[in-house]
Every structure is written in structure tokens, then in C-alpha cells.
Amino acid sequence: MSASQSDSEETNFDQSLEKLERSLFSLKDRYAQVQRDQQRKAALETQKESAKLKTELREIEQQLEELEINLESRLFSWSGLREIFWLAVRFGGLGIAIGWSLALVTLKDPAPTPSTPSSLSSPK
């Protein structure tokens, strides 16, 4: 082998080695980028799921508020007040009727008043 031939082989080897090193660095950079992108994707999916859950939570809270309003309106309805009103009228009227009846009975047949003591203790 001649010196010029060994120099050219050495140069080719150095160039191939440099090219291989650049390819290796490029591959390492690409691998690091893929790892960063996968981590970012996982974080975004978590945020997406969290946002979806928040939306569902808001919808559930809204439905609960609507149900609460419906239940309150059922508990406090005009028909319920109407029933309470008529109960008060019925029992209040019954009380008044019983009171008047007792008053009439006592006025028709008043209790006898005791005799005056002056007639009993008159001097004889």
C-alpha cells in the first residue's frame, strides 16, 4: 500500500466517522424530541380529560339546581296552601261554633246566683 492510498483511506474513514457521529447526534436529538412530545401529549390528554370532567361537573350541578327548584316548587305549591287554608277554616270555624254553642247554653240557663246575705241576717 502506498502512502497516498493509506492517506485517502484514512480521510475516508475520518469522514465516515464524522458522518456517523452527526447521524448519532441527530438520532439522539430526535429521540429526545420524541420523548418530550410524548410527555406533552400525555399532559395535554390529561388536561383534555380534566376539562371534559369540569364540563360534565358543571352540567351535573346545573341539573341538580333545576331538580332542587322543581322539588321546592312541589313542596310549596298553591294546592298545598289551599289545603292548609281550608284546614284552618274548618277547625277555626268548628272552634267558633263550639264557643257560640257553649255561650248560648250558659245564657239560656244561667247559673243561680246566691241569695243576698242581707235577707238572711236581718234582725228579728
Q: Does 59 fall in a domain? A: yes
Q: Does 66 fall in a domain? A: yes
CA–CA gap between residue 8 and residue 92 (Å, rounded): 123
Closest to 65 measured CA to CA, from 77, 54, 57: 57
91-119 b/e with 16+ CB inside 10 Å = b? Answer: eeeeeeeeeeeeeeeeeeeeeeeeeeeee
In order, the DSSP letters of 60-121 are HHHHHHHHHHHHHHHHS-HHHHHHHHHHHHHHHHHHHHHHHHHHHHHHHSPPPPPPPHHHHT
- Evaluate if pTM is beyond 0.85: no
Band (pLDDT 50/70/90 cuts) for residue 10 is confident
Domain tally for the chain? 1
Q: What is the mean pLDDT of residues 66-92?
A: 79
The pLDDT tens digits for 23-43 are 999 999 999 999 999 999 999
The pLDDT tens digits for 89-124 are 888 888 899 999 998 888 887 666 666 655 555 555
Q: Could you tell me the residue range of the domain that residue 64 belongs to?
A: 8-76
Q: Does 3 fall in a domain? A: no
Q: Does 123 fall in a domain? A: no
